Amino acid sequence: MKLAVISCIHGNSAALDAVLSDIDHHHAEQIYCLGDLVGYGPDPNAVVETIRALAIPTCQGCWDEDIVVGLDACECSYPSLLAERRGKLAHAWTSQAISPETREFLAQLPLSLRLDNLCFVHGSPNSQHEYLLPEMDESIALERVMTAGAEVLFCGHTHIPYVRTFEDSHVPVHRIINAGSVGEPRHGRPNATYVLYETETQQVTLREVEYDYQATCAAILAKGLPPIFAWRLARGLEFAERADDPTHICDR
Amino acid sequence: MSVSQPTVIAIAGAAGVGKTTWVRQQLSQATGDRFYFCPGVGNVPIDLTQIMSEFPTIQVLTEQQEVYQLSAQATVYIELGFHLDLASASGFLDAVAAKRVAVLPLGAEKSDWHDWADQVVEGATIANWVEPSHLQRAVLTGQVFDPASLNLFWFELTEAAYGQICRAKGIFDLVDGRAVCFDFVSGLSGSTYTELNLHRWLDGRPERFSGIEVVGQAADQAAIAQTLADCDLSDAAIAHYQAQLKQSLGTEEAG
């Protein structure tokens, strides 16, 4: 079966629509979503409505949780004072923009999803807020996969897609597959990213999809979000947050 | 020039071409009494602060009249900002028999600086130089930054997030008590980052100069000011970090 795994849409409906079209084109049979449907972007309700309308299995991201229960960040959420102030501004805007139905939907999302030997989480099996960076200590990273009781752990949260294979450690081979970000890329280009996965062959394809990011930038400005969010989106720089410390263990 | 007059060297040139760098080179080689004068600097003395930290024994002049009172053993470097009118300074420079040095990019087109100068010195070669249309200067004294926020701001500033920038230079106080100088010129590769030779300020908000100067085209001054304000740590955070640092430094010294 061919799966499509998407993550970190962040209220960017133009990017989500483009990725869904690309998934259609590649005939994926099932889509999984790793959360962060809202936050920073201008269309949180539209994104949630699309996910609900297509009945895409979705786990809860850090932003989805924060919008429901309030901010309670570990230091990894905000690597600088400036990022923190921008994040809180985006949180306040999103919190007033989302509908009761959207809030209710985000509140009931599960922390993880399973399909046979595959596990789907937002950050890590420990927390939606923990970053599994590609440089993370190998034993700790493998422990996260084992904790999930899976052979393949799909995650997002870092906004940069990658595949990490633990070749020498165990048979069968364990892997972490990061789906990148649909709506808030951080790989230096504005294009959306997601992952295609063949369950029979274990083949992974990292997809990068062009879309009309200028439309999202215009919506950011029109809706009164900080102009710097549009500038960063257009450059694939992520809006405010950075996760750069692979040794950090989230303690939220 | 009469024998009783000091040696006076006036330096001019475009923003970012290397006027202060040239003065620093001269100061490092000069002997005798050395003086520095930067007219029109107002309340944002970035170059002056940088030079004073590097050359603690240099004497700073604040009024051009002071030049007349110096002895023949003195050497005075007068740095003229790019925004100053060269003609308006000519009378004074003639009166003190100043040697006029223009720091200009290699192969620079004929300009007023060429006509003005006794000597042209090769400065930085700046690719894709855009003629600036505005100058923004701000005093940041008392503001304290965490390095991550400052780096984020500086990256955005120099990558044109707030409008096209030709030149940016700033002195910032960091939460660990150090003062740093960030320097950017459009067309040169990257920024330079220098720690100033000043004591670590670990007792509340620093009571010494820090500030920024941005030269550009249609830069969003309000956004720059707001972002800098957003980077400013709270009194509580500063007190917390400073207490930790004092304890850490005290432990190191004891060890």
Identify whether residues B32 and B108 lie together within a single domain. Answer: yes
Spatial CA neighbour of B163 closest among B180, B183, B186: B186
Contact between B230 and A227 using a beta-carbon 8 Å cutoff: no
The per-residue pLDDT for A75 is 61
What are the sequence ranges of the domains in chain A? 2-233
Instruction: Specify the DSSP class assigned to residue A77.
Output: G
State the pLDDT confidence band at B5, using cuts at 50, 70 and 90.
confident
Identify whether residues B16 and B117 lie together within a single domain. Answer: yes
Q: Does A244 touch chain B (CB under 8 A)?
A: no
In angstroms, the separation between the Cα of residue B255 and the nearest Cα of chain A is: 28
| pLDDT over 50 at B1, yes or no | no
**Residue B21 belongs to a domain:** yes
- The angle, 0 to 180 degrees and rounded to 10, between the axes of the packed helices A44-53 and A100-107 is 60
pLDDT digits (tens, 9 = 90+) for B108-118: 788 888 889 99
Identify whether residues B107 and B16 lie together within a single domain. Answer: yes
Q: Which residues from chain B sit within 8 angstroms of residue A80, using beta carbons?
A: 146, 148-149, 151-152
- In angstroms, the CA B156 to CA B149 distance is 11
pLDDT digits (tens, 9 = 90+) for A148-172: 999 999 999 999 999 999 976 556 7
Identify whether residues B107 and B175 lie together within a single domain. Answer: no
* pLDDT: which is higher, B131 or B103: B103
- In angstroms, the CA B207 to CA B100 distance is 36
Q: Which of residues 130-169 of B touch A (CB under 8 A)?
A: 146, 148-149, 151-153, 156, 159, 161
Q: Which residues from chain A sit within 8 angstroms of residue B153, using beta carbons?
A: 82
**Residue B248 belongs to a domain:** no
Q: Does A83 touch chain B (CB under 8 A)?
A: yes
The per-residue pLDDT for B254 is 53
Chain B: residue whose CA lies nearest to A89? B230
Spatial CA neighbour of A90 closest among A192, A226, A232: A226
Chain A: residue whose CA lies nearest to B147? A80
Please count the structural domains in chain B.
Answer: 2
Identify whether residues B160 and B117 lie together within a single domain. Answer: no
- In angstroms, the CA B49 to CA B236 distance is 28
The per-residue pLDDT for B128 is 62
**Residue B160 belongs to a domain:** yes
State the pLDDT confidence band at A76, using cuts at 50, 70 and 90.
low
**Residue B191 belongs to a domain:** yes
Region B42-66: mean pLDDT is 91
Domain limit, last residue, from B78, B95, B122: B122
Q: Which residues from chain A sit within 8 angstroms of residue B151, using beta carbons?
A: 80
Q: Does B176 touch chain A (CB under 8 A)?
A: no
Identify whether residues B105 and B146 lie together within a single domain. Answer: no
How would you class A60 by CB atoms within 10 Å of its CB: exposed for 0-12, middle for 13-18, buried for 19 or more?
A: buried
Identify whether residues B158 and B57 lie together within a single domain. Answer: no
Domain limit, last residue, from B71, B87, B122: B122
**Residue B254 belongs to a domain:** no
Contact between B231 and A83 using a beta-carbon 8 Å cutoff: no
Q: Rounded mean pLDDT of chain B?
A: 89
- In this structure, which CATH number among 1.10.3720.10, 3.60.21.10, 2.40.50.140, 3.40.1280.10 belongs to the domain A2-233? 3.60.21.10
Instruction: Give the mutation candidate from B153, B227, B230, B235 for the A interface (greatest A CB count, under 10 A).
Output: B230
pLDDT digits (tens, 9 = 90+) for B213-255: 999 887 899 999 999 999 999 999 999 999 999 998 886 655 4
Q: Which residues from chain B sit within 8 angstroms of residue A81, using beta carbons?
A: 146, 148-149, 230-231, 233, 237
**Residue B171 belongs to a domain:** yes
Residue B199: give its domain's CATH number. 3.30.1220.10
**Token couple for B51:** 């030079």
Identify whether residues B30 and B111 lie together within a single domain. Answer: yes
State the pLDDT confidence band at B2, using cuts at 50, 70 and 90.
very low
Region B201-206: mean pLDDT is 96
Contact between A81 and B161 using a beta-carbon 8 Å cutoff: no
**Residue B230 belongs to a domain:** yes
In angstroms, the separation between the Cα of residue A231 and the nearest Cα of chain B is: 6
The per-residue pLDDT for A251 is 64
**Residue B129 belongs to a domain:** no
Residue B27: give its domain's CATH number. 3.40.50.300
Phi, psi of A120, deg, nearest 5: -120, 120
Beta strands in chain A (DSSP E): 2-6, 30-33, 112-115, 118-121, 152-155, 162-166, 174-178, 192-198, 204-209
Q: Which residues from chain B sit within 8 angstroms of residue A221, using beta carbons?
A: none
Residue B32's Cβ-side half-sphere holds a number of Cα atoms within 13 Å equal to 12
Neighbour count for residue B19 (Cβ, 10 Å): 26
Contact (CB, 8 A) for B103 and B114: no
Region B54-67: mean pLDDT is 90
Taking CB atoms and an 8 Å cut-off, how many pairs form between chains A and B?
Answer: 34
Min mean pLDDT across A132-141, A241-250, B177-186 is at A241-250
State the pLDDT confidence band at B81, using cuts at 50, 70 and 90.
confident
So what's the ipTM on this one?
0.84
pLDDT digits (tens, 9 = 90+) for B119-132: 999 888 776 666 67
Contact between A80 and B148 using a beta-carbon 8 Å cutoff: yes
Contact between A82 and B230 using a beta-carbon 8 Å cutoff: yes
Parent domain of B17: 7-122
- Dihedral angle computed from the Cα positions of residues A85, A61, A237 and A175, in that order, rounded to the nearest 10 degrees: 140
Q: Which residues from chain A sit within 8 angstroms of residue B230, using beta carbons?
A: 81-82, 85-86
Spatial CA neighbour of B188 closest among B211, B162, B168: B168
